[in-house]
């Protein structure tokens, strides 16, 4: 990396003290701690990753509760609370897909129209023809377009400049397609960068501006943002780290504009659950559009875990199903899900091990449920 950061060795000491004075009558058995299953799940996620901190936030109707494990900053005893911001990575895709479905409802976008219709000349050459790729195929990852993340986050030079959506898309389109449109399924961030470009083309406004007016402001998402022109995060955030045993603080190392409409959102447990609760209960898009969003891709190479339009299906251990998305960004892993009856859960850890151990696999494959998602599902089912 061209950015020089000092590696810090993290030593955790767990000290338990008990003092007993005098003779007392036998104490009554204490009630079990609330949400013990969720606490065990996030403690387990933190331990499995040798992570510094983890947190969970759950909403059910108008009520919200949260749990924390470890710390949000190395060397400090600070909880990972529901209001603390994280870089949420591919959870951004669900926000972008929801906006696209709003535009479809308004008649500004036809999901079955070609990408060429809205972005003439952008997806052409090198094996691509935007006339044969639909907007829907972008949103359900059946376009075959190469994932720009495979090159973007691994090149230190890309962390030294800001990118437009068009420049990010070009990183993916410079590589040949994985397969012909509709003839397979492969998770690709380039799909959602192009979706952001379509949003800008039809609204004549920036993607971030549309996100703010369509979702952030109406839902009152007070901690949700897309950083512009800075790698710094506002006060009240979780620090992100790479490593195991020895850690590198990468909170401000990676260029956030590379994420864009595919992975650039910063949010918190309280906001992520509020958004998904609203989305899954029909408050963001009409019921018919929500049903369309939750219709999984069926075709060659369809993933084992069903994927709709910017959203994954999660079979719950307590019965039924939830929908949401995983999110990976260097130093962070998060997962947020919700049910159509108004329950929502979010979990996060602030270490992404570059040598393996993340639940979503590589940074370019954060869509499906994994180990962290199991903790989120435990939280959603936790009635204790």
User: Would you kindly state where each structural domain of the chain is located, as residue ranges?
Assistant: 34-381
**Res 370: pLDDT:** 59
Which tokens go with 256? 């956030």
φ, ψ at 86 (rounded to 5°):
-135, 160
Q: Which long-range contacts (CB under 8 A, 24 or more apart) does 231-234 make?
A: 231/255, 231/256, 233/85, 233/87, 233/266, 234/85
pLDDT of residue 245: 84
pLDDT at 366: 45
Separation of alpha carbons 123 and 130, rounded Å: 5
Select from 3.40.50.300, 3.30.230.70, 1.10.10.10, 3.40.710.10 the CATH code of 34-381: 3.40.710.10
State residue 301's pLDDT score: 92
Q: 3-class DSSP state for residue 42?
A: helix
Distances (CA, A) of 118 to 92, 108, 131, 203: 21, 10, 10, 11
Sign of CA dihedral 137, 138, 140, 144: positive
Query: How high is the pLDDT of residue 49?
Result: 85
Tell me the pLDDT of the chain (384 aa) as tens digits: 333 333 232 222 222 222 222 323 344 455 567 999 999 999 999 998 889 999 999 999 999 999 999 999 999 999 999 999 999 999 999 999 999 999 999 999 999 999 999 999 999 999 999 999 999 999 999 999 999 999 887 788 888 889 999 999 999 999 999 999 999 999 999 999 999 999 999 999 999 999 999 999 999 999 999 999 999 999 999 999 999 889 999 999 999 999 999 999 999 999 999 999 999 999 999 999 999 999 999 999 999 889 999 999 999 999 999 999 999 999 999 999 999 999 999 999 999 865 454 443 334 444 455 589 999 999 999 998
Tell me if residue 8 falls in helix, strand or coil: strand
Q: What's the confidence (pLDDT) of residue 307? A: 97
Question: Over the Cα atoms of the chain, what is R_g?
Answer: 21
pLDDT at 21: 28
Query: Among candidates 365, 154, 156, which has minimal Cα distance to 263?
Result: 365
């Amino acid at each position: 990396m061209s950015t020089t950061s000092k590696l810090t060795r993290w030593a955790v000491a767990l000290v338990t003290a008990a003092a007993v004075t005098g003779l007392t009558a036998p104490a009554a058995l204490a009630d079990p701690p609330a949400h013990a299953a969720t606490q065990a799940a996030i403690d387990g996620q933190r331990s499995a990753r040798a992570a510094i901190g983890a947190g969970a936030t759950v909403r059910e109707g108008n009520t919200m509760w949260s749990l924390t494990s470890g710390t949000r900053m190395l060397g400090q005893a600070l909880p990972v609370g529901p209001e603390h911001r994280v870089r949420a990575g591919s959870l951004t895709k669900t926000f972008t897909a929801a906006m696209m479905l709003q535009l479809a409802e308004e008649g500004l976008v036809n999901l079955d129209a070609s990408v060429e219709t809205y972005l003439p000349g952008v997806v052409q050459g090198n094996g691509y023809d935007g006339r044969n790729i639909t907007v829907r195929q972008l949103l359900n990852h059946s376009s075959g377009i190469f994932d720009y993340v495979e090159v973007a986050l691994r090149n230190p030079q890309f962390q030294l400049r800001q990118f437009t959506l068009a420049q990010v898309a070009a990183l993916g389109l410079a590589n040949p397609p994985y397969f012909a449109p509709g003839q397979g399924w492969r998770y690709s961030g380039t799909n959602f960068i192009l979706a952001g470009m379509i949003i800008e083309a039809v609204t004549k406004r920036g993607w971030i501006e549309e996100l703010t007016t369509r979702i952030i402001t109406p839902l009152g998402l007070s901690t949700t943002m897309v950083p512009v022109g800075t790698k710094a995060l506002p006060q009240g955030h979780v620090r992100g780290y790479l490593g195991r045993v020895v850690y590198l603080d990468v909170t401000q190392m990676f260029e956030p504009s590379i994420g864009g409409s595919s992975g650039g959102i910063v949010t918190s447990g309280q906001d992520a659950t509020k958004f998904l609760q609203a989305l899954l209960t029909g408050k963001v898009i009409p019921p018919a559009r929500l049903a369309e969003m939750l219709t999984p891709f069926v075709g060659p190479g369809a993933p084992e875990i069903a994927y709709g339009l910017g959203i994954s299906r999660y079979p719950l251990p307590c019965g039924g199903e939830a929908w949401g998305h995983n999110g990976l960004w260097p130093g962070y892993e998060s997962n947020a899900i919700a049910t159509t009856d108004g329950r929502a859960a979010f979990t996060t850890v602030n270490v992404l091990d570059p040598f393996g151990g993340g639940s979503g696999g590589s940074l370019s494959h954060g869509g499906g449920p994994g180990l962290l998602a199991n903790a989120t599902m435990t939280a959603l089912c936790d009635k204790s």
